[in-house]
Each structure stands twice: as structure tokens, then as C-alpha cells.
Chains A and B, each alone.
Chain A
């Protein structure tokens, strides 16, 4: 049984194939990167995996559970959680409250427990709060626990988003450009953090443009261009792959022909 196995998935919007016949797999404990030029369909793949879009065709399996046709909430319940390319935090809530929203799906007490402050509420709320604090400490955000998200620097907000995703007790984290907008020292720090996630047993599938990050931590890399998978392999192989270089920089021959 594969951890995450995606077979021949296609996403069609009208006449446009945003993602076409893409297959890949992620094994438990791996860090896999999904790269490609802008508009290649990387984020669309994330949206398909997390149930934002209902896929046109193909199959997706996570730990033996089918993902297609499931709601985003059910998919989070299975243990897949994501971050967003353009931050989607809850800006007027505190950092710790954002992370507590992440624990929502694993919080069992019901509405009346909360309303009447029952024993179950107090016990579980304490556990989740402590868990949220631990996650924030592990990602180096302990001094911002009480702050409101909107007051945080951009790089720190990205970390809050990762913390929130972890709080759902996800086994597979989908990180959409985690290093975007970070300066070199921040992205270096992030690199260490993502590596530490792997040591803690998380599996990471990530979209990233920062090649320093991608090449340094990926176990394997998939390259997407115009909705199609054009290459996959180890970081070293990808860095020297002609088709990949062509996709990113444009090929010489093609150019000549057009003229």
C-alpha cells in the first residue's frame, strides 16, 4: 500500500487542461518537491488533492483511502493538511488561536460542553492549548503566541500557517511555496525546520521556487509544465535535465523555429 498514490489525474476547466494525466507517488517519511514554471498547474494539483476541486478523471489514494469525491473536511480528517501560496490565515485572531483552529477537527467536545464549560471541555481545551504551544515552540514562534497574526512579519506568518497545518495532526503536509517572500537567512532557517519535520515523522509534499531549498532537502522532485509531468528524479538528475532547463528558460531550437 502506497502512502500517497496519484494516478492519471486530469483537471479540465472547459476546454483547458490545467492538469493532464499526471501520476506520482509519495512514500512515508519523504520530502518530495513539485516544481515547474508559473502556471504549470502545481497549485491545481494541491487543490485536487485537498478536495477544493473535484477532479475530472483519475484516481488518488492516501493510505488506502480514495480521495476523489471526498470533501476537504474529510480529507483533512484522513491526515492531509496544506498551506497556501498566498497566505490564508485568520488575521484578526491571535497566533495561538490560529493554531487552535487547526486542532478543531481533532477536538471532540461538542457545542454544549463549550457553552457549559463541562469537564470534558476543560480537559480537552487544556490539552489542545498545550499542544498548540508546543507546536509554536517547535517552529520558533514562542514569542508571538499572544500576538495577532496581522501584526507579524511576513516570514513569521508563513510559519504560523505551517504550524496551523501541523495542528490538524496531519501525516502529509502540503506546503505551497513555504519560502516565498523570505530572505536567504529566513529560508535557511525554514530549510532546517522542514528537515526536522521529516525527523518527526511527517511526510512533506511541497511546491517551491527557491532552488536552494528544493535541491537541498528534496528526496525526489517532480517537474510539471503546462499541466503535464515532464520529468522526475533525484535532485541531481533534475538539475541537469534538458527538458527541465528548457521549460524554465525556454529552448534554443524552439526559439529559432518561431523566428
Chain B
């Protein structure tokens, strides 16, 4: 194909991206550098007031740190739960494999909102888990909803399909013959896992980590509902600032911070992925 034809074919996508992505992003960035009146009106004239407030108030530093740490925790937990599952699916015969894939991905057919409400019912004060623990004689079962625990449980379950998909996509180099070879050379099962299976599945782990981390940081409905307004994360705070407090500049500034976090994550991912390819 001639370069000109190629350019021509790229134009529609380029136009859509310009109008629907780049322009709003520019707009968002400009909000962050304007002041705001108590009524929510954006004031004319550039100002760094929002950023000053953001850096002054330790609440925001803490918010960003909590968000990143919670997301890392959720991602790690998802990985821990999804890894054995993905390994099992990867090793299954072709027919079983298809069936297991459908089973793993079917939660995606139900909206995250519905699933979150499901968790509210299960984890709630008169939910299944509470009742069972109570019946077993636990006087005061731990609260599992409207706090960090609830948010983490909900997010892990909702994001697991993405992790499983990424892991499976990255398991390409994992041939059972490698495990057999390692065993024949005298490696017990745990050593096989540590020295052969884990290193060979690193591309999948990395991909899953990136995807689930980004999805956790930007997830909003689950933390909002399961956090019950008591768990403060970047996405929920942006929503509150934009919709409740009507402080669009602050919401925009926090959005840019989130974007920066994604940028750093992607950069790290790229570097690690490249290092792995050369290894």
C-alpha cells in the first residue's frame, strides 16, 4: 500500500480521536488551570490555585497514596487467585479448555453494577456470610461492607476475568514438556513452579498486572457502592468533586494526576516487557 493511501485510510480514526479524545483532554487540562467560584462557575484567567490547594492539603496526598496502594493490593490479590486458575485452564484439553474459558469470562456478561449489588447482599449486615458466621457462634462478625474490605473483595472478583485472560494470553511459551524436563532433571514440583513455570509466564503476569491495576485505579462504581462513602479513592473523589461539590478544576487536576499514574505504569510496563524479551 502506498503511504498516501495508508494515511487516507487512517484519517477517519484520526478525526474521531481528535474530536472525541484529544479535544476533551485539552479542555480537561485547561479546567485544571482555572479558578472556580462557589457556585461552580469556571473563572476566567489562568490560575494555579487548584494545584496549590491539591499540594497543600495532605488529604490529597493520602488519597493518591491510598488509591495506588489499594489498587496494587487488589491487583496482587487478583493475580494470586487467578494464576492457579489460569494455569489449570491452560493445561486442560481443548474441549474442557473452551468450557472453562466460558465459565471464567461469563461474569463479564453481567454489568459491574449488578455484580456490586450482589456483593452488597452477600457481604451486608444480614447477608449470607454474616448469618453463617453468626450461626457458627461468632458474636460480632467483622464488617465486610462499606469499608476497604468490601471494596477489595468486590474489585478482585469483578476484575478476575481480565487477569485470567491476560495470563492465558501470556502463557504461550509454557509447554508442559518444560515441566517434564525439569522434573526429569530432579526438580520437585515447587522448584519446577519457581524455576520454570513462573519465569515462563512472566509476560502474562506483567500484562495482567498492568491491565488490572489500570482498571482498579479507574474503577468507580464498585468502590462507590461497596465503600459506602467511607472509602476515598481517586475515581470516587473525582466524581464527588465534579458532581457533588461542583469543583471542576479540582476534579480535572485529580484526573490529570490519575493520567500521570497511568503514564508511569505504562512506561514501567514497556521497560520490563522489553527487558524480558531480551532475557
A and B associate in one complex: no
Q: Which residues of B are interface residues toward A (Cβ below 8 A)?
A: none
